[in-house]
Chain A
Amino acid sequence: MDDKKQIKFILNIAVLALICVFLWWGNDNLSSFYIRILNLSAIFVILGISMNLVLGFTGMFSLGHSGFMCIGAYVASILTMSPASKEIIYFMEPITPILAQIQWPIFPAIIMAGVVAALFGFLVGIPALRLRDDYLAIATLGFAEIIRIIVTNTITITNGALGLKNIPSVKSMWVYWGIAIITIIILKKIVNSSWGYSFKAIRDNEIAAEAMGINLFSHKLLSFSIGAFFAGIAGALMAFLITSVDPTMFRFTFTFQILLIVVLGGMGSLTGSVISAVAITILMEVLRVVEEPINFFGLLQIPGLPGMRMVIFALGLLLVILYYRQGLMGTREFNWDYILNKIDSFRKRGASM
């Protein structure tokens, strides 16, 4: 047994080292296009697993993710923009004096974005989490729209319809993947803590969970706020990646994109969400090929059809829902034990033969 532990420890160290080497190599050698795609997948990883915590592990059908992202993106942008560019951008109506001179470094701003989003999550959660299922979905969807409308109309804070630009640009993969990995680690810890077991109990049967002495409301609120916290962080990262934010960016269709990641990856599997977030983001670019005009050896010419990518994803989603309900990973997670056992049994079989 000790042997196995040691092997796993070495494996873990090796994996971490490999990631560091890859990030270090990638930052210098990959073209900015690939770095951008990888950074975007890191953001979708954070979004996917944080939504999975709420939806897959606690069983709350919440569609407010884009609203929390919106809050995070605006908080981070306003905190990090330089006073000079604020003066240029807010040309319709000047920014509130309190915010005009503020300029924070990137990391505190990202944390603050998460904290503010979590605070909103907490406040919205108090009334909304008394609802269940479809009603909760409608209430949270409404909340996300309200946020968007408030942002459009509070011109002295958010610059309204004009949006914000000249947000400091962050290109390093260390930041995006570093935060994504920390998020994975934290959520993995939460899911395997006694809190996590309570979440899963609530998901599986609320009445039974309550009978076991779990405080439904406080657990739901906790899960919801944690989800909002990480959505806020992802929103902040999105702002630093794109360097401009505006109210039309966080329409509810954005939430559905995250939902696609969660459902395809498997509700209740962090591993699944991570894989599907990365795969979908990369495939979205790779599949552009199907939208280009295709020429079969000069015999047959097919004009490019925009939207074919979406058709492929839609078909994939249909197939998953019809034949593979639990998604890519179901509720399983990746672990070394499984792989080591496989290798062991393979070896034993080899020896006995």
Chain B
Amino acid sequence: MLGIKKRYITIVALIVAVSMFAVGCGGGAEQGADTDKEQAADVIKIGVYEPLTGTNAAGGQMTVEGIELANKLYPEVLGKKVELFIVDNKSEKQEAANAVERLIGKEKVNVIIGSYGSSLAMAGGPVALDAKVPVIGCSPTNPAVTLDNDFYFRVCFIDPFQGTVMSNYATGQLGAKTAAIIQDVQQDYSVGLSSYFEKAFKATNGDTAIVAKVNYNTGDKDFSAQLTEVKSKNPDVIFAPGNFLECGILVAKARELGINVPILGGDTWEAEEFLNQVTQYKDIYFSTHFTAEEPVTQVSTTFLDEFKNEYPDKEVNAFAALGFDTYILALDAMERAGSADSQAIRDALAETKDFQGATGIITLDINGDATKTAVIKKVADGKFVYETKVDPQ
């Protein structure tokens, strides 16, 4: 008995040693943070958690550029300096939860901004809710992010809205009665958006309106089988949300096969790589958050000018604009609340109405989701062209 026991309990000893070490480190760090806090008593702290490395890094970086630009333009609120704490969440859920916990526990931030990638935002949300610190999301479009969480808000529209907008556009503007869906079964974004589109399209055009729903996988390069099936069903429009890479090939292939009906997609299509594949084609539409051609508000103009000054080599993008909006919304809420207290900021955020952002006029609904204008763009003459705005009904 003793012999067996000895073997395993030995390991346990090490755990204790290591845990002790951890606590030692932890204790030290905590003291450090406390002194920092005293020094910076008259600073307002905004925490930012974004994926700066890993699979979502590109989106996270664009967002942070927008936030930093806004911070540069508006460095003060309530007569105090605003300090940004930007932490990387590695595009991983457990890191995102750690990052939020760190921002709240160690840096003692007043309000948090983030994160690109709904999955990451869903990991950070409960932590902020527990600590009662408000979070404003820039681009997590999954409806579950703000669901049942009073401290999570966002300035972007949500996937069901995007799906509904495209469905309404297809029915109203393009006069479609039937549609085919081509989805990437490996991408939650694609599967999600497809189901919202399907739901909305069936609601307006009847249960048989979706004539085909075919699947492909991320990384596929040959879509002839799927497209032949779609062609045989002869739909009025095709809805194919997904990665810009696969969709670029898919759309080009569809046109080669003589499928000339309009093809619709989501906000991921707004990428150079997609455009290069489909330059010579037309009737390609997608919804997005923002357009540089048609400034929606006064703030859009400011944002566009300043962005070009600050990052002359970079293309203006929706994610930077959304990051910009989150930051100015946070400042606006603090001004309306007249305080930097987390609870006061939350209450002010919940009452946000007709807020002028770079991406449009934002009103936050009871869930904390933005009701705002979506932009529809199309491919024409080898570039993305602004087509129309769709207001929330």
Contact = CB atoms under 8 A, between A and B. Distances in A.
A166 B148 contact: yes
B9 A16 contact: yes
Interface string A17-39: 01100100010001111101110
A219 interface: no
A350 interface: no
18 contacts: A22-B19, A37-B98, A38-B22, A40-B94, A85-B148, A88-B148, A92-B196, A149-B217, A162-B188, A165-B144, A184-B8, A192-B4, A242-B94, A242-B126, A249-B119, A274-B14, A286-B29, A310-B53
B190 to A, nearest CB: 8
A38 B19 contact: yes
A238 interface: yes
A155 B195 contact: yes
Interface residues of B, number: 70
Interface string B8-19: 111111111011
Contact of A249 (B11, B13, B87, B93): B93
Contacts of A38: 19, 22
Nearest to B90: A310
Q: Shortest 10 CB-CB distances between A and B: which pairs?
A: A161-B188, A306-B52, A33-B105, A12-B9, A161-B192, A188-B8, A307-B53, A244-B122, A15-B13, A306-B88
A contact face: mostly helix, strand, loop, or mixed: helix
Contacts of A36: 97-98, 101, 127
Given A30-B26, A37-B22, A160 B188 contact: yes
A90 to B, nearest CB: 10
A185 interface: yes
A165 B148 contact: yes
B9 A15 contact: yes
B106 interface: yes
B185 A184 contact: no
Interface in A267-297: 270-271, 274-275, 278-279, 282, 284-286, 288, 291
B185 A149 contact: yes
A112 to B, nearest CB: 22
B369 to A, nearest CB: 13
Contacts of B119: 163, 246, 248-249
Interface of A: 5, 8-9, 11-12, 15-16, 18-19, 22, 26, 30-34, 36-38, 40-41, 45, 85, 88-89, 91-93, 145, 148-149, 152-153, 155, 160-163, 165-166, 169, 177, 180-181, 184-185, 188-189, 192, 238, 241-244, 246-249, 251, 253-254, 270-271, 274-275, 278-279, 282, 284-286, 288, 291, 304, 306-307, 309-310, 333-336
B314 interface: no
B2 interface: yes
A22 B7 CA distance: 22
Given A15-B9, A36-B127, 14 more contacts: A9-B2, A149-B186, A149-B217, A160-B188, A161-B189, A163-B119, A163-B188, A166-B148, A188-B7, A238-B94, A242-B93, A251-B55, A306-B57, A307-B88
B87 to A, nearest CB: 7
Contacts of B92: 249, 254
A10 to B, nearest CB: 11
A32 B30 CA distance: 12
Given A16-B12, A248-B119, A33 B195 contact: no
A160 B192 contact: yes
B225 interface: no
